[in-house]
Copies of this chain bind each other. A is one copy, B any other.
Amino acid sequence: MSLTTDDPLAAAREILAAQAFNTVVGAELTDFGDGRAELVLDIADHHRQQYGVVHGGVLAFLADNVVTFAAGSVLGTGVITAGVDVSYLRAARAGSLRAVGSVARHTARHAVCTAEIWLEATDSDPELCAIAQGTIFATSRT
């Protein structure tokens, strides 16, 4: 895809806006650059599973996406994710989810990233809801 800006965060937001699946999920990119990315999602009814808490698939989507953006911040826009390992720690019921991705190490061709997904609610301290690891390749695609 072609981008209309050279500003890294603005360009990354254009990429996220081009993800049709995110238009139904609704995450926003709040940080991007230097091996780090952050997605924020306001929990809404359509994110829930049968017990009323956020679906594991939503957490897995955030984990997958935030490790990929974190990797993209060092590898460039042409990246493909080889895999992601998600461990669920706590049910998330209401508030916002903040997914923070960080590059643990990268070469020119790949990056290994970690992610933490925090629940932020108005009436309590942030709580860690999920952790993840992901491996991302650089491609020649731009």
Any chain B CB within 8 A of the CB of A68? yes
Complex-state Cα separation, A65 to B86, whole angstroms:
13
Residues of chain B within 8 A (CB-CB) of A15 are 50
Whether A29 is near chain B, meaning CB under 8 Å from some CB there, is no
A128 on the interface (CB 8 Å rule)? yes
- Which residues of A, 18-77, contact B by the 8 Å Cβ criterion? 18-25, 45-51, 54-58, 60-65, 68
Secondary structure class of chain A's binding surface, majority of residues: mixed
CB-based contact A21/B55 at 8 Å = yes
**Interchain CA distance A88-B84 in the complex, whole Å:** 9
Given A19-B55, A61-B61, A82-B135, 7 extra CB contacts under 8 A: A1-B51, A19-B50, A60-B64, A82-B88, A87-B135, A89-B104, A90-B105
In the assembled complex, 29 residue pairs joining A and B whose CB atoms fall closer than 8 Å, in A order, are: A1-B51, A19-B48, A20-B47, A20-B48, A21-B48, A21-B54, A23-B46, A24-B46, A56-B64, A56-B65, A56-B81, A60-B64, A80-B88, A82-B87, A82-B110, A83-B83, A83-B88, A83-B112, A83-B135, A86-B86, A87-B104, A87-B133, A89-B105, A89-B112, A104-B131, A105-B128, A110-B137, A133-B133, A135-B135
